[in-house]
Each structure stands twice: as C-alpha cells, then as structure tokens.
C-alpha cells in the first residue's frame, strides 16, 4: 500500500475515533440528534483527510481548491479557516496565510499567488508569470478577515504583529486598492481591464482574468460587483480592528472611515429599492445586472439594515440551484442570522450533495455545527467566549475545541442549559446566551441579570456575562 494512501486511511480512522495524529481527542461532537451527529462526523473525517502535515515543501497545509489539485486557494482557505481551527489545524492555517502574505509584490500589482501547491509554487493552472495569472480582487480582503478571525480564535499575536503579515495588510489597504482603482469614489468608474501587459490578448484568460472584480467568475464584462464592494468593506473593517488591537489608533480610525464609505456605497448605490434587493453586477456599459453575489455580501457582514439583511436571505432562499461553494457557507451564515431551520437543512443535506467532496463543504459543515448550531465563538481581543444553542429539544456536546491557546468544551441541553469548561490557561468571561426572554440566568449558584436583544429574524436572545476561571467548568440555566 502506498504511503499516501496509508496516511489518508489513518487520518480518516483517527477522525472517526475522535483522536488526532498526536493522540489528543480534539473537537469530538455528540448529539441526541443523530442526523446532526452523522453530518459532523462525516465532515470532520473528510476535512482531516485533506490535511497534510510537514512532509511537503510548502509545509503544513490542507486542500482548499478543486479536489486532487494538491493546492490551496486564497478564497477557499479564507472560508475554511474556522472549520480547520476547530479540528486542530491551527498550524496549517497559519502556514498557508503566511505563504499568501509573503508572496505579495509590486511586480504582480500588489497581488499575491491566488493558489499555491504542495511544492511551494504558484499552481500552474492559475499562474504562468507575474504578468500572466488568474486573480479575484476580493481575495486580499478575505485573507485579512480570515486572519482576524484566527487571532480571535487562537490569541496568536503573529496574526496582528508579524512583519510579513503587517506588510500584506498595509499594502492591501493602500497600494493594492490604488493600483486597481478600488477606492469608494473610483470603483464605479474603473475600466474592465487594468494593469495590462504590452502584449495584452483579450482571448487569453491569464490576461483578462488577472484582476477579476468578483468571485463570480463566469459573468463577463464586469467592472465591479457587490461581493467586491462588500469584501472591501470587510477588509478595511478587519484592518481597522487589527490596527486597534496593535495599538495603532490613527490607522484604525482611518480604515474604519473607509469601511463606512464602502457600506454607504452599498446602501445608496447598489440597493434596488423598487425590487427590494441588491444589484449584484456593474458592467462595462455602466449598467447593473443580476446574478450571484449576495451570499458573499452577507458573509462579509457588510449590511446593518435588518430589513435589507432579511431581503438578502430571502434572495438566497428563493434560489434552489446554488453551487456547492456557496452552499458550504450557508449553515454558519444562516444560524448567525437566526434562520435555524434553513441552516439545519443545509447541515444535514450537504454531506449527500453533488460535489460534496469539494473541501469547502466539510470545513463549512464543521463550522456550521460548532459556531452555528452550538454558537461557540472565542474572542482573544476581549478575553471572552460566547455561546448560544440553536438546537431545541436535543443534547449536543463538543469536547476539546482548540481555542485561545488551550481547549474549550461545551454542552447544551436544548435551549435551556449550557455547560462550558475552560482549559485555555487563562481566565475568561463567558457570554452565555439563551433563546427567549429570560430576566435572569442562574450559574454557579448565582443569578445574573440578562441583556435581551433580537437577532435579524426577531428572535429574542437573553445574555449574561459570567467569570469563568481557567480549569473550571460552570453550568448555566435560563430562568
């Protein structure tokens, strides 16, 4: 039996047993909802089967592109990082993000490599030279957002202060934006093709797709798209938060102002009031067109108006033939917005979908279960963790989730009882939430007054903040 096949079988078997290759039981999920448990176990085993440790020139990595391409793409990695973190692939996330950051260059007009293979080279299917390659302009923003998420999950300050990462962030909100005319007051006026070589060939994809203004790659004639504008909002917002964590108040304030400008552009220019929806494409003819893109707008959390968020979700739910890449985002996204039934349907049907072998699917299901259905979200910047069960009538438990330099374990008994164990090496604040209007929450023999808010769908959520020392476990109950 070939070594690679033995390794793949070993990874799958250890994933099923709940033990990773280092011998630690990591992110083991159980539930009285057996369908949910089966989805998670399928996703965890599948995702780990795509992981490769240190045996390749590129270092630790996991597949984040078309299966069997032996490569990882900026967009896919950015959307797989949370799922990867949950199942113990923090080292892989960091290595791949460092590879993207380290290859940004002026010769590529402040792009980096869209896709890198296991040999530590730009994937030939997407790259021929620094003037001939494939690149979606959303990618720099997506990477910044993913890096911020990884800091919040891990507390690893390299995501904030490493010189290579800082260089990538700085160039991505400055020279990159200027070179591709992506500023809020320029993006609607940019040409279809930019930064072209002297021998530009309109029939050569590595010329025409070197700077695509959308993740939607099959709609021709675009100069801007709603997912690009939303992505730029998210990139500048992430940069602002990273700068604030680093103590750079001036850059944080300036980036926050730019983020607001992109959001204003979305609300005043891209919103179609007559049809109660967002336009998605802006063409070279200076006309709006419709197509995909709204899921990314919601993924980037670029909208604040609740009516318009609900309109965006309605836009998604009205379409039944989404590609598998978009569907992989739906569980975490729909749970976050309060559409629990729709999120659950995606979680339990994605493993059997066509093209379920696409790596984003399994990582998306892992995130959908742990951060979505169980609502587990650590925050290094506030030294806290938030939880919210969205699974009624069932007991769900996730054990030993890597977070904040250690591990968290969480158990929910329906929507009424939650138990959190802190083995992170630090004292935390636990923001424990329950669906419904509960004046108090009882935890550790004490009653805590709650703050009641509503999610986008109007569901009431009651939250109390509780001190959770290291190496302690507390049970909280909605009163």
Report the C-alpha gap between 25 and 18 in whole angstroms.
5
Res 20: pLDDT: 45
DSSP 8-state class, residue 393: T
Helix (H, G, I), strand (E, B) or coil at 353: coil
Q: Each residue of 321-335: pLDDT tens digit?
A: 999 999 999 999 999
Instruction: Specify the pLDDT at position 6.
Output: 38
- Residue 302: name the closest of 289, 314, 293, 290 by CA: 293
Tell me, what's the pLDDT at 15?
A: 44
| Domain boundaries 75-363, corresponding CATH code | 1.50.10.10
d(CA 247, CA 241): 10
Q: Which two tokens stand for residue 83?
A: 């799922």
Burial class (CB in 10 A: 0-12, 13-18, 19+), 88: buried
* Cα–Cα distance, 136 to 145 (Å, whole number): 16
Q: 384-478 has which CATH code?
A: 2.60.40
**Separation of alpha carbons 239 and 245, rounded Å:** 10
224 Ramachandran zone, left/alpha/beta (phi>0; psi -120 to 50): beta
- What is the residue extent of each domain of the chain? 75-363, 384-478
pLDDT value of position 25: 82
Strand partners, 408: 401, 422
**Tens-place pLDDT, residues 216-272:** 998 999 999 999 999 999 999 999 999 999 999 999 999 999 999 999 999 999 999
pLDDT for 24: 52
Q: Which residues of the chain have pLDDT under 50?
A: 1-23
pLDDT at 3: 34
Identify the pLDDT of residue 245.
Answer: 98
What are the residues facing 129 on neighbouring strands?
132
């Amino acid at each position: 039996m070939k070594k690679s096949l033995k390794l793949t079988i070993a990874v799958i078997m250890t994933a099923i047993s709940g033990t990773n290759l280092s011998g630690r039981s990591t992110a083991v999920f159980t539930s009285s909802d057996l369908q949910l448990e089966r989805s998670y176990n399928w996703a965890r085993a599948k995702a780990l089967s795509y992981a490769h440790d240190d045996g390749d020139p590129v270092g630790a990595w996991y597949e984040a592109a078309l299966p069997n391409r032996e490569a990882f793409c900026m967009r896919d990695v950015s959307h797989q990082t949370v799922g990867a973190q949950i199942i113990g692939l923090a080292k892989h996330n960091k290595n791949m993000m460092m590879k993207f950051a380290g290859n940004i260059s002026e010769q590529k007009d402040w792009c980096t490599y869209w896709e890198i293979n296991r040999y530590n080279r730009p994937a030939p299917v997407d790259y021929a030279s620094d003037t001939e390659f494939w690149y979606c302009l959303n990618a720099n923003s997506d990477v910044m957002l993913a890096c911020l998420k990884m800091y919040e999950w891990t507390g690893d300050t390299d995501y904030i202060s490493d010189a290579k990462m800082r260089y990538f962030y700085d160039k991505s909100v400055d020279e990159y934006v200027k070179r591709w005319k992506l500023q809020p007051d320029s993006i609607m006026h940019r040409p279809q093709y930019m930064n072209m070589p002297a021998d530009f060939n309109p029939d050569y994809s590595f010329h025409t797709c070197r700077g695509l203004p959308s993740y939607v790659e099959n709609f021709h004639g675009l100069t801007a798209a709603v997912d690009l504008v939303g992505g730029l909002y998210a990139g500048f917002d992430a940069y602002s938060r990273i700068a604030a964590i680093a103590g750079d108040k001036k850059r944080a304030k300036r980036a926050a102002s730019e983020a607001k400008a992109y959001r204003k552009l979305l609300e005043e220019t891209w919103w179609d009031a007559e049809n109660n929806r967002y336009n998605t494409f802006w063409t070279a003819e200076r006309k709006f067109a419709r197509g995909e893109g709204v899921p990314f707008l919601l993924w980037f959390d670029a909208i604040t108006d609740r009516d318009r968020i609900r309109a965006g979700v309605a836009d998604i739910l009205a379409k039944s033939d989404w590609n598998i890449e978009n569907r992989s985002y739906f569980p975490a996204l729909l749970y976050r917005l309060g559409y629990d039934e729709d999120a659950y349907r995606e979680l339990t049907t994605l493993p059997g979908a066509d093209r379920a072998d696409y790596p984003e699917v399994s990582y998306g299901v892992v995130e959908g279960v742990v951060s979505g259905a169980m609502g587990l979200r650590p925050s290094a910047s506030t030294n806290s963790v938030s939880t919210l069960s969205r699974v009624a009538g069932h007991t769900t438990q996730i054990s030993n989730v890597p977070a904040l330099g250690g591990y968290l374990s969480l158990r929910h008994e329906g929507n009424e009882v939650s138990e959190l164990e802190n083995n992170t090496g630090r004292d935390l604040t636990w923001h424990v939430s329950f669906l419904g209007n509960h004046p108090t929450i009882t935890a550790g023999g004490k009653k805590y007054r709650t703050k009641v808010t509503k999610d986008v769908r109007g569901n009431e959520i009651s939250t109390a903040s509780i001190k959770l020392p290291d190496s302690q476990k507390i049970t909280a109950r909605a009163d």
